[in-house]
Amino acid sequence: MKKFNGKVLVVGATGRTGLWVLRRLQAYDIPARAFARKADKLAEFRDLEVSLGKIQNASAIRSAVKGCDAIICAIGATALFGESSPVQVDGDGIIRLVDIAKENNVKKFILISSIAVTKPLHPLNLAFGGVLSQKLRSENHLRKIYGQDGFAYTIIRPGGLKDGEPFKHQLQTGKGDTISGVIDRADVAELAVLSLWVKRVENETFEVIRSAPAEQKSLELYLEKL
Ligand SMILES: NC(=O)c1ccc[n+]([C@@H]2O[C@H](COP(=O)([O-])OP(=O)(O)OC[C@H]3O[C@@H](n4cnc5c(N)ncnc54)[C@H](OP(=O)(O)O)[C@@H]3O)[C@@H](O)[C@H]2O)c1
């Protein structure tokens, strides 16, 4: 039996975490649609549904969310100014996506945010366009809009992102934004996919970093014992 019945829209699908989300959905045989600015970075996926558009474009988002049961959002700013900036992507962009998803009855929203979003004086926030404050703004909006009956959210706040393989480390989770460290994008993607069906993380916000290297059979336990 499938772990999750429904189609998942992956936003920021061409990003380094987004690509891992698509791979992990594929591993569980869960149908996916990718929302992306360009399809060329998705060439490794055969028969993948792609919905092209920018996070600024409400009508492109409306087409992308149609018929989807859940969203995994791995989008993030890649420039200080313009359409890839923190304010336009991590702030306004995600807020637009949340509103349109809710209007179109997408039941579940899983957001990949960041540790330290509650720390306005963090060096990353000061150096990169207030990215952490923008992420907190969209987190707050998601909690308000998807915390309502019949809908559910999960907010994952990873530490600094690395590019290793999944299932190679033990993980440490936290609440209240007090831990710091790093984690592999592949494990963050796996946690996002698990959040589709692990009830324990419904309407939860938590931080996660990696700890000792150790082969892992599953990461589900880390969510169950949150
Ligand atoms: N880097 C870290 O150490 C760190 C730590 C904690 C949390 N995070 C957060 O974790 C998430 C994943 O990070 P990552 O490093 O894997 O991401 P990434 O590789 O930088 O990918 C960012 C994604 O966002 C997309 N994007 C940016 N602007 C867009 C726009 N205007 N419209 C549509 N798509 C747009 C990019 O599309 P294109 O491919 O078209 O550019 C790409 O798919 C992000 O939210 C990031 O802020 C990062």
Antiparallel, parallel or unpaired: β 8-11 and 32-36: parallel
For the stretch 97-112, pLDDT in tens is 999 999 999 999 999 9
Residue at 1 is within a domain: no
Residue nearest to atom 7 of ligand 1 (CA): 114
Return the pLDDT at 2. Answer: 85
Residue at 57 is within a domain: yes
Query: Of all helices (H) and strands (E), which one includes residue 173?
Result: strand 169-174
What is the domain count for the chain? 1
Residue at 3 is within a domain: no
Residues of the chain predicted below pLDDT 70: none
Tokens of 137: 């703004």
Residue at 116 is within a domain: yes
Residue at 2 is within a domain: no
CATH of the domain at 186: 3.40.50.720
Helix, strand, coil % in the chain, rounded to nearest 5: 35, 25, 40
How many angstroms from the chain centroid is the CA of residue 125?
Answer: 19
| DSSP classification of residue 163 | -
Residues with CB under 6 A from ligand 1: 12, 14-18, 37-38, 41, 54-56, 74-76, 78, 83-84, 89, 112, 114, 158, 160-161, 185
- The CA distance from 41 to 175, in Å, is 34
Residue at 88 is within a domain: yes
Enumerate residues 6+ apart whose C-beta is below 8 A from 68: 6, 7, 8, 9, 33, 101, 104, 106
Percentage with pLDDT > 90 across the chain: 98
Q: Which domain holds residue 176?
A: 8-224
- The CA distance from 177 to 166, in Å, is 24
Return the pLDDT at 1. Answer: 80
Residue at 152 is within a domain: yes
- Ligand 1 mean position, distance from CA 102 (Å): 22
Give the relative orientation of helices 58-65 and 92-103 as an angle to the nearest 10 degrees: 50
For the stretch 47-81, pLDDT in tens is 999 999 999 999 999 999 999 999 999 999 999 99
- Ligand 1 mean position, distance from CA 211 (Å): 24
- The CA distance from 68 to 196, in Å, is 13
Phi-psi region of 48 (alpha: psi -120 to 50; beta: other; left: phi over 0): beta
Query: Of all helices (H) and strands (E), which one includes residue 191?
Result: helix 185-194
Residue at 195 is within a domain: yes
Return the pLDDT at 162. Answer: 98
- Ligand 1 mean position, distance from CA 128 (Å): 13
